[in-house]
Amino acid sequence: MTDYLAKIKEGDEKAFKAIFELYYEPLCSYLRSFTRDLSTAEDLAQMTFVTLWRKRAQIEIKSSLKSYLFKMGYNNFLQMHRNLVRENKLILSLTSEALEMTFIEDDSIQDLKIEQLNKIIQKLPPASRRVLELKQKGIKNTEISSQLDLSIKTVESHVRNAFKIIRKGFKNNPLFMMLLYCTHKRK
């Protein structure tokens, strides 16, 4: 295995492919024990191998390559879990703020907010706007990544960027943001 690692460090794609074919399925099985979802486990495994390739020159493995990959995959899982926890806290916070607000809007105010939202979306950077449009159609990040030839992290970054800009536009209306977010999550 040390020969493969040395070749990978030199940029040998065949050695990388051999390592990928050897460890991809076992890594997916291992990660699935944490995620309970094959699709998420596959995404995490792919992220692990992408990281291995991108950081190949800096990698110093003191144990086996398999242990290193599994540890890297586990760390990717932990990061994903932390992000989900943060996201859930945000949803709870928005829900709480929205419940505290006790006003009813008439249709004209709702129409104005929809118009405002459309204006904000049109002002988004083109890549973020395209990713957001695909998300609104219910397409998953992995599919968007494939369609637009972007990494999953880039897709996630565009979604975060779009929602950050939209949040700024509606900073005084947490109820609207909660409804927008919940509508986005259902799709």
pLDDT tens-place string over residues 107-124: 666 677 778 888 888 999
Runs of H (alpha helix) within the chain: 2-9, 13-35, 38-54, 65-100, 107-123, 126-136, 141-148, 152-169, 174-186
**Which pair of structure tokens corresponds to residue 70?**
């599994």
184 vs 187: CA distance, rounded Å: 5
61 vs 40: CA distance, rounded Å: 26
Q: Does domain 101-186 have CATH number 1.10.10.10?
A: yes
pLDDT at 96: 66
Q: Show contacts of 19-25: CB within 8 Å, 24+ apart.
A: 19/52, 19/65, 20/49, 23/65, 23/66, 23/69, 24/49
Q: Considering the entire predicted model, what is its pTM?
A: 0.52
151 vs 43: CA distance, rounded Å: 11
Multiple choice CATH, 2-79, 2.40.30.10, 3.40.50.300, 1.10.1740.10, 1.20.1050.10: 1.10.1740.10
Domain with CATH 1.10.1740.10 in the chain: 2-79
Token pair 């944490």 in the structure block, residue: 34
pLDDT at 31: 95
Token pair 């999550």 in the structure block, residue: 185
Q: Residue 85, SS3? A: helix
pLDDT 10s digits, 54-87: 999 888 888 888 999 999 999 999 998 898 888 8
Domain with CATH 1.10.10.10 in the chain: 101-186
pLDDT at 186: 43
